Copies of this chain bind each other. A is one copy, B any other.
Amino acid sequence: MRSIAKGLGLGSAAMALTALTALAWPGTAGAAPTGTASLYAPSALVLSVTAGPDAETGTVLRAVTLVCSPTPGGTHPNPAAACAELRANGSQLDPLAAPAADAVCTREWNPMTVTAVGVWQGRRLSYSYTFANPCGLRHTSGTLFGF
């Protein structure tokens, strides 16, 4: 435990304090009162689907939240599977987004863009992937963008 604490740059006294704080604030998973550190490297994401090729200017059709520590949660329809995929892939999300190899889609240009923004394991994440058309999105490889 001591070596893990050192690895995270936290003293064991600070960890003990954080553990007590977590007990005192049972309803705020992932959050800690102002001024204290969390026991977990924070992970909190917003995933969205936008019509068009540009996530900044297109119409946002759907957006969900995903939290992976201490337990999977959020408004994503399958947070446990999505968190497992993220842990397996790190921040390289193309294999999760791209249409499955066996997907059968027409090839017209009617783009849909998915994004993931927020914090993953303490680091900022900003990702986007544009599908040629909605069929590609329906056949996305992972569950992460299947909402």
Chain A contacts to B: CB under 8 angstroms: 25, 27-35, 37-38, 41-46, 48, 55-56, 59-67, 73-77, 117-119, 122-124, 134, 137-138, 140, 146-147
Query: If the complex has contacts A42-B48, A65-B74, are A124 and B31 also in contact, measured as CB distance less than 8 A?
Result: no
B32 adjacent to A147 (CB under 8 Å):
yes
A62 contact from B25, B31, B62, Cβ within 8 A = B31
A selection of 12 A-B contacts at a CB cut-off of 8 Å is A28-B64, A31-B76, A34-B137, A35-B138, A43-B63, A44-B63, A46-B46, A56-B124, A63-B119, A65-B65, A117-B117, A117-B118
Which chain B residue has the least Cβ–Cβ distance from A139?
A: B34
Query: Contacts of A134 on B, CB cut-off 8 Å?
Result: 35
Query: Contacts of A117 on B, CB cut-off 8 Å?
Result: 46, 117-118
Query: Contacts of A62 on B, CB cut-off 8 Å?
Result: 31-32, 37-38, 42
Nearest CB on B from A147, distance (A): 5
Query: Contacts of A119 on B, CB cut-off 8 Å?
Result: 46, 48, 60, 63
Q: A30-B64, A42-B61 are in contact. List 16 more A-B contacts (CB 8 A).
A: A25-B77, A30-B75, A31-B77, A33-B147, A34-B147, A37-B62, A38-B61, A41-B60, A44-B65, A46-B119, A59-B122, A60-B122, A60-B123, A60-B124, A63-B119, A74-B74
